[in-house]
């Protein structure tokens, strides 16, 4: 099996008396796409926020390539911040409205350092074209773009510094259904092309099935079940997973037709 990039062990996070995460453990292996699913409030975002340092865990350990982040040197932490980038759920709020796309895309490289002005521009243009945006978009502000375009800008921003891991917190749930697939496909393509490792948070199990190889099911801050997509979807062990799967069970076309016919008859009766 491939190298463990991020190891989460016994992660616990309390907000006052509320236990948002309780002893959560999982591994993120190099090159895989790991799904993290669970209903709203199950603690998915909290896991990600702990991973990127926006929240401080109450207890538990996060290690990157075997190095405990709590005990890491400044240089190791810098490396981690560069290697692990995040995509936010809402592309309407994750791009600074006062910055042009150029400034937004340049910022991570400026912070990481070591890119000449030419290298920065080359990387930006390369990714811009790869993700279907144009050079003339660079001088515009985020408000000029649609949700899908903005999320692509956010993905480019994350990719400029050549990360190894992308943490995606429901990256398409704020988008129109019509552009969700497009953004998901781009994420999958980029993952394949660049050999990225992705932690993909979602409450939509169909999306996870499409994208991920393994999945962790979270419920009230507790890991209910973890395994390959085939195992978990095919033979769910936990009752909660079965519930989740039933909730999104593909509609039976025949039952659906019968339901519609009944509704039409009711409507006709009213008239």
Partner 1 sequence: MTIDNAPFDRVSFVGVLSRRLFGRGGPVVDRLALVMVGILLVLAVVGPWLAPHDPYAVDPIASLEPPGAAYWLGTDDTGRDVLSRLLAGAPLTILSAVAVVVGSTIIGVFVASVATLAPRWLDDALMRCTEIFLSIPSLVLALGLTAVLRPSLTSIIIAMVMALWPATARITRNILRETMTSAYVEAAKIMGVSRLRLMLRHALPNSLDAIYVHASMELSGTIVMISGLAFLGVGAPPPSADWGSMIAQGQDFITTAWWISLFPGLAITVAALAFGLVGGAIRRINDPTSGRAQ
Q: Residues in the site for ligand ATP, rule: CB under 6 A? A: 15, 18, 20, 38, 40-46, 203
Which part of the chain contacts partner 1 (CB under 8 A), choosing from 8-16, 136-144, 229-237, 239-247? 136-144
Q: How far is the CB of 129 from partner 1 (least distance, A)?
A: 17
**Can you tell me the distance from the alpha carbon of 202 to that of 212, in angstroms, rounded to the nearest whole number?**
11
Q: Is 37 helix (H, G, I), strand (E, B) or coil?
A: strand
Locate tokens 């993700």: which residue?
A: 131
Q: What are 138's two structure tokens?
A: 């660079």
Q: Taking CB under 8 A as the rule, does residue 120 contact partner 1? A: no
Q: How far is the CB of 143 from Mg ion (least distance, A)?
A: 24
Which part of the chain contacts partner 1 (CB under 8 A), choosing from 29-37, 46-54, 199-207, 243-251? 46-54
Is there a contact between 96 and 142 (Cβ–Cβ < 8 Å)?
A: yes
Q: Burial level of 83, CB count in 10 A (0-12/13-18/19+)?
A: middle
Measured from the CB atom, is 38 or 163 closer to Mg ion?
38
Q: How far is the CB of 41 from Mg ion (least distance, A)?
A: 8
CA atoms lying within 13 Å on the CB side of residue 256 = 5
Q: Taking CB under 8 A as the rule, does residue 144 contact partner 1? A: yes
Q: Taking CB under 5 A as the rule, does residue 85 contact Mg ion? A: no
List the interface residues with Mg ion, window 34-53 (CB under 5 A): 45
Q: How far is the CB of 90 from partner 1 (least distance, A)?
A: 6
Is there a contact between 142 and 156 (Cβ–Cβ < 8 Å)?
A: no
């Amino acid at each position: 099996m491939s190298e463990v990039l991020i190891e989460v062990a016994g992660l616990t996070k309390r907000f006052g008396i509320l236990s948002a995460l309780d002893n959560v453990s999982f591994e993120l292996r190099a090159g895989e796409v790991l799904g993290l699913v669970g209903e709203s409030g199950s603690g998915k975002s909290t896991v990600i926020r702990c991973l990127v340092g926006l929240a401080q865990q109450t207890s538990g350990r996060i290690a990157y390539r075997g190095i405990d982040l709590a005990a890491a040197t400044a240089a190791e932490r810098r490396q981690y911040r560069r290697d692990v980038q995040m995509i936010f759920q809402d592309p309407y709020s994750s791009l600074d409205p006062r910055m042009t796309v150029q400034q937004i895309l340049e910022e991570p490289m400026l912070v990481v350092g070591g890119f000449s002005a030419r290298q920065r521009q080359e990387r930006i243009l390369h990714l811009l074209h790869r993700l279907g945006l144009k050079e003339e978009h660079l001088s515009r502000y985020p408000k000029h773009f649609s949700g899908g375009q903005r999320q692509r800008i956010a993905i480019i921003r994350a990719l400029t510094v050549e990360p190894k891991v992308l943490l995606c917190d429901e990256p398409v749930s704020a988008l129109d259904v019509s552009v969700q697939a497009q953004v998901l496909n781009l994420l999958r393509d980029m993952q394949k092309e660049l050999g990225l490792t992705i932690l993909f948070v979602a409450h939509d199990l169909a999306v996870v099935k499409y994208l991920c190889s393994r999945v962790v099911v979270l419920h009230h801050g507790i890991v209910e079940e973890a395994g390959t997509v085939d195992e978990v979807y095919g033979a769910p062990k936990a009752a909660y997973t079965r519930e989740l799967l039933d909730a999104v069970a593909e509609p039976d076309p025949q039952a659906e037709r019968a339901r519609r016919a009944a509704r039409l008859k009711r409507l006709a009766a009213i008239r």
